[in-house]
Chain A
């Protein structure tokens, strides 16, 4: 079964995709931090950041509708904050607006970072930026086995649906679900054991080897300098 929903756009071909993973992690983290520092009500600052996001989305060739779709994720928080703003006055509305713009911009940058970088590249970048090895290895396994497990879940659900008619009481449903999750867990355990054997068979001894380090090109420093310059200008320059 094909699962393309996680990193659908990471193998497009664009100037952003060509950058090294570390460059993008650092650059986009800087941009997100900068957005969080925009003072409330500073319309001009928000405007230039929106402009930058728009340009980067255009450059990245990711369909804008996809980015917009991802922003729906923050909806529950927006609703709660909106409720709070409705109870407050004019100032609360102002705060809500600031909050929304910040959230949108940050999410846009995060979508850009993760969808212009292949996951394997991202992992290498994280490792070289000092993320603990256990976490990076864990992320690698998670990425690899998520799809295998999802296939098993789908097959299990089909098997269950084939054998039942209608729905039972909630407690019974919960029990069935618990057994399904239990057997999925059991299969996961066994999978982990067999994978460990496969690793041993190829000489694994406590250490996960890292292949080639990513390569910087002239574009990487250019991108980082541009990001820094943009942030300085956005905050320092008054129209």
Chain B
């Protein structure tokens, strides 16, 4: 689900970077420090928990393996704002540590893996369980929240890829939504199991998350946050809007047709030439490596 760089059209990537940066800054402001000095290390440790849980694949059904993704769970436990900040942190860490997800695609990934699952998971749980934080109803709501928190990101991700002309909806949507509908069962099951475990062992922890006050403005903001990009995707799916960055580039350097297209790379054939190029590139890499290696031998090492 972590989209690498190169798969999104630049206008989508830029739009989502703006949306995500905006919501991170908004959440960071809204999440006041004075009330939350205690929450700072807690959020950090829970981010680490989600990161660790995601690294561990457990066999689930037959041959497939699943792991807790945790967006819905964090939303339910910490409330939507702190939960979103934690998931955003996890996504940034995954890009920086493991190159899971691209740099310019970071905004899209924060949106898909941070905002959408946390807000949707929290909303579903809140709607179904109402004020209850323990009991059968809360556990069932946890299952629904977990499942939704996997489905919506898959839909959002395949929409983005299709508008970007990378993977058409006819291929992407069934593949991604189908896969996540199955994985979502595990996610829902795990979310429900963790909630029922906490309800048994430390119910007060679940109530802490419930005490977060959510104003109408926050609901409206969250709705807007999720709805606007979706609307733009759906409306923009068919249109051929010019890419803003490419427009700038063209204004500076001239139309794309005149730039660098002198050697159009054919899709097939000329295998020998490619191999020659590859050997040349590897040779340059080795030369650079050796140069640094040898240069260091002469200089004094600290």
Contacts and interface: CB of A to CB of B under 8 A. Distances in A.
Q: Do chains A and B touch in the complex (CB under 8 A)?
A: yes
Interface of A: 6-7, 13-15, 28-29, 32-33, 35-39, 41-47, 50-51, 54-59, 61, 64, 70, 73-74, 77, 80-81, 83-84, 87, 90, 93-95, 97, 99-107, 109-111, 113-114, 119, 122, 132-135, 137-146, 148-150, 153, 170-171, 173-175, 177-179, 181-186, 188-189, 191-193, 195-196, 199, 204-208, 235-236, 238-239
A58 B289 contact: yes
Interface stretch (B27-35, B117-125, B233-241): B27-35
B217 interface: no
Interface in B194-221: 194, 196-198, 201-202, 205
B194 A185 contact: yes
B4 A106 contact: yes
Contacts of A7: 97
B256 A99 contact: no
A43 B45 CA distance: 47
Contacts of B189: 171, 174, 178
A231 to B, nearest CB: 11
Interface in B45-72: 45-49, 51-53, 55-56, 58-61, 68
Interface in B259-276: 259-265, 267-268
Given A54-B288, A55-B288, A146-B51, A93 B268 contact: yes
Interface residues of B, number: 101
Contacts of B231: none
Nearest to A97: B267
Interface in B69-106: 85-86, 88-90, 92-93, 95-100, 102-104
B115 interface: no
A6 B98 contact: yes
Contacts of A140: 44
Contacts of B264: 41-43
Which of A138, A141, A145, A189 has most B Cβ within 10 Å? A138
Contact of B95 (A110, A133, A183): A110
Contacts of B171: 80, 83-84, 87
Contacts of B261: 39, 41-42
A133 B263 contact: no
B292 interface: yes
A142 B48 contact: yes
B3 interface: yes
B287 interface: yes
Contacts of B177: none
Given A15-B292, A149-B49, A32 B103 contact: yes
B40 interface: yes
Given A110-B5, A196-B41, A238-B260, 4 more contacts: A43-B265, A59-B292, A181-B190, A196-B42
B166 A186 contact: no
Interface string B114-137: 000000000000000000000000
Given A44-B263, A107-B102, A146-B48, A132 B190 contact: no
Nearest to B31: A134
Contacts of B90: 142
A208 B61 CA distance: 45
A14 B46 CA distance: 35
A185 B89 CA distance: 17
Nearest to B47: A142
Contacts of A51: 281, 284
B251 interface: no
A186 B198 contact: yes
A13 B297 CA distance: 12
Given A99-B166, A235-B253, A32 B268 contact: no
Contact of B289 (A59, A133, A178, A199): A59
Closest 8 CB pairs of A and B: A178-B193, A141-B44, A58-B288, A182-B197, A106-B5, A102-B6, A103-B6, A43-B265
19 contacts: A6-B97, A7-B97, A36-B10, A58-B284, A59-B291, A73-B2, A77-B7, A87-B168, A102-B5, A103-B7, A106-B6, A119-B97, A145-B48, A146-B51, A178-B196, A186-B205, A189-B46, A196-B41, A235-B260
A58 B277 contact: no
Contacts of A93: 267-268
B95 A135 contact: no
Contacts of B253: 235-236
A13 B175 contact: no
Contact of B197 (A113, A153, A178, A191): A178
Contacts of A59: 288-289, 291-292
A186 B6 contact: no
A94 B267 contact: yes
